[in-house]
Amino acid sequence: MTRRSGKVEVRTLQAADRERWHELWRGYLEFYKHELPADLTELTWQRLLDPAHPFQGLVASDRGRIVGIVHFHVHASTWARVGYCYLEDLFVDPVCRGLGAGRTLIEAVYRAADDQGADRVYWHTENTNDRAQHLYRQVAELTPFVQYRRRTE
């Protein structure tokens, strides 16, 4: 899959993208002030490259340099015939923001979800992530749902 929007091109994540993907992945984790063990990052990478695994990855590039990543997967739902698409991780290099990479990646996920028959595409962000929410309000609708998680004590 390769799509072009303005200067930004989106394509499927490839093994040769490992180094730049890892840089952006670290930036994503740093943004959310989260650390993951190296073996979990490696597992995520392997899952993204495995065509038998539901995880899928796309990269956005500008003039050949990868500037953003997105990870998503379609999962079953009791409310849909095929399922829903969860856009799990989206990150654009902070120095490359404003090129349209985030929007282009989201739109590419929309197309992939449509191609796979998913009834819905959804994602989460922190309520303080104002910059991302500015984009999200342009390409999606805010739902009234609140997320709860099991307490870890």
Reading the chain (153 residues) residue by residue, the pLDDT tens digits are 544 455 899 999 999 999 999 999 999 999 999 999 999 999 999 999 999 999 999 999 999 999 999 999 999 999 999 999 999 999 999 999 999 999 999 999 999 999 999 999 999 999 999 999 999 999 999 999 999 999 988
| Residue whose pair of structure tokens reads 């490992």 in the numeric block | 18
Structure tokens at 68: 């953003």
Answer for the pair 7, 99: CB distance below 8 angstroms, yes or no. yes
Answer for the pair 105, 70: CB distance below 8 angstroms, yes or no. yes
For the chain, give every domain's residue range: 2-139
- Cα(30)–Cα(11) distance, integer angstroms: 24
- Cα(7)–Cα(13) distance, integer angstroms: 18
pLDDT of 1: 53
Eight-class DSSP state of 54:
S
CATH fold for domain 2-139:
Aminopeptidase (3.40.630)
Answer for the pair 38, 130: CB distance below 8 angstroms, yes or no. no
pTM exceeding 0.75: yes
- Cα(142)–Cα(135) distance, integer angstroms: 12
Sign of CA dihedral 78, 80, 83, 85: negative
Burial 33-70 (b: 16+ CB within 10 A, else e): eeeeeeeebeebbebbbeeeeebbbbbbbbeeebbbbb
- Cα(23)–Cα(20) distance, integer angstroms: 5
